[in-house]
Amino acid sequence: MHMQKNKKLKTNKMSNNEWPLWEVFIRSKQGLNHKHVGSLRASDEVMAIENARDVYTRRSEGISIWVVESNSVFASDSSDADEFFEPADSKIYRHPTFYDVPDGIEHM
């Protein structure tokens, strides 16, 4: 019983010193771009790449892996979406509805 108590204290102490969180991006064999596939914790970039390979490419899905420490990612705030993306909505000529698609073209 005494050992379990010490073990629990040790676990709690370690949780305060967690490894950094990394975002993982994989480029598939058929893809041209990297896609976000998940997150993991690792002590450094080498460990993050190795863990990402082991966790996210077990079936040889990818040909390239990117890892980015989560605190280095800067993103727009979803609550600002209307204001942030509004300029594109006001330029209706950018929408493909103004262009005729030639006969015989199925996918564009």
pLDDT of 67 > 80? The answer is yes
Assigned domain for 2 exists: no
At 88, give phi and psi (nearest 5°).
-70, -35
Assigned domain for 36 exists: yes
- The CATH number of whichever domain residue 69 belongs to comes to 3.10.20.520
DSSP 55: H
Assigned domain for 32 exists: yes
Q: Are 43 and 19 in contact (CB under 8 A)?
A: yes
Encode pLDDT of 40-62 as tens digits.
Answer: 999 999 999 999 999 999 888 88
Assigned domain for 51 exists: yes
Assigned domain for 63 exists: yes
Dihedral angle sign, alpha carbons of residues 101, 104, 105, 107: positive
Q: Are 41 and 22 in contact (CB under 8 A)?
A: yes
Q: Are 40 and 52 in contact (CB under 8 A)?
A: yes
Where in the sequence is the domain holding 66, given as residue range(s)?
Answer: 18-98
Which band of pLDDT confidence, cut at 50, 70 and 90, is reported for residue 98? low
pTM: 0.62
Structurally, how many domains does the chain consist of?
Answer: 1
